[in-house]
Amino acid sequence: MKFYTSTTEIPEEMLKGVELTHTHLSYLSETGILYDNTLDNKAVPIISGGGSGHEPAHIGYVGAGMLAAAVTGPLFVPPRAKNILKAIRQVNSGKGVFVIIKNFEADLKEFKKAIEEARTEGIDVRYIVSHDDISVNTYNFHKRHRGVAGTILLHKVLGAFAKEGASIDEIEQLALSLSPEIYTLGVALAPVNFPHHRTSFLLAEDEVSFGVGIHGEPGYRIEKFEGSERIAVELVNKLKAEINWQKKANKNYILLVNGLGSTTLMELYHFQYDVMRLLELEGLSIKFCKVGNLMTSCDMSGISLTLCSVKDPKWLDYLNAPTGAFAW
């Protein structure tokens, strides 16, 4: 059993619970919108959002130096355009509003509708579509390019840049420069197990699925589980093939090890150790890393690995800058 049972509604109790816990966050009832009530209107506001079930994303990244607001929908269902529009209006102070969207068809539909409407109201809205997932579709072998855990690098870097006083044009340019450098690949040890949630794939106790999504989407290959190191080798090799770091002069990288839900910190840090050893052998230098449950898929057991080349050393300053967000 679970303390929360998924429905087709916005999870009001969770969002009110967050509001009652974190004094810098205010909740607009029945909209899914949590916003930073300490906004000083000096920075261009950045918003993001998506279905619930990915906590701490995105509510945990609202705060000074990251997001101005997050819009949350029902479990694994994106927020409605009308609520995204409300969020844009809520944070707008005339400098424009920047929106970070995860690349899923349903999300794009709602966000684009809201953005178009806001623009007709005269708000200068720009956006980036995060598409860090490099897994392939088993049916047609096309890359899936979904927006997954690497998205939070956009939240942090752009949020700190905005706080520094960057214009909407500058934020857009940085987003276009940073987003294509972010690569993520996930693996599940067990699927989502939530009441009233239809499990989209099944795994035997000793199997793992490579390339899963964050809504329980199946991966590209099921294998026998042979330990943390074997999984680290698979993920690092796939990322290497994609990024081609051996052919690049810049060996400085940002690393995220993300738990997909019920994977313990003990496991995440064990896996992190395996990954760091492999990356050292590859000659990469990890200049910033983060380990934890950053963008989950309810209680799925699994991990995703994100790598991002440090094209500009200022990105590291933005990652290390202080923030009021509770989950960074």
* From candidates 117, 223, 267, 312, binder to a second copy by CB under 8 A: 267
The Cα–Cα gap between 306 and 260 comes to: 13
Residue 153 amino acid letter: L
**CA-only gyration radius of the chain, Å:** 19
Nearer to a second copy, 105 or 205 (CB): 205
> Of 38-46, 245-253, 299-307, 308-316, which segment contacts a second copy by CB under 8 A?
299-307
Q: Does 205 sit near a second copy (CB under 8 A)?
A: yes
Nearer to a second copy, 179 or 263 (CB): 263
Q: Which residues have C-beta within 8 Å of that of residue 180, sequence separation ≥ 6?
A: none
The Cα–Cα gap between 81 and 103 comes to: 16
Q: Is 176 exposed, middle or buried (0-12, 13-18, 19+ CB in 10 A)?
A: exposed
Nearer to a second copy, 81 or 208 (CB): 208
Among this protein's residues, is 145 annotated catalytic? no
> Of 111-119, 139-147, 267-275, 308-316, which segment contacts a second copy by CB under 8 A?
267-275
Nearer to a second copy, 151 or 293 (CB): 293
Q: State whether residue 77 is helix, strand or coil.
A: coil
* From candidates 95, 216, 274, 315, binder to a second copy by CB under 8 A: 274
Number of H helices, E strands in the chain: 8, 12
Q: Does 299 sit near a second copy (CB under 8 A)?
A: yes
72, 79 Cβ separation under 8 angstroms: yes
Catalytic residue numbers read 54, 215
Binding positions for a second copy, rule: CB under 8 A: 1-4, 11, 13-18, 20-21, 52-53, 55-56, 60, 189-190, 205-206, 208, 225, 227-228, 231, 261-274, 276, 289-291, 293, 296, 298-299, 301, 303
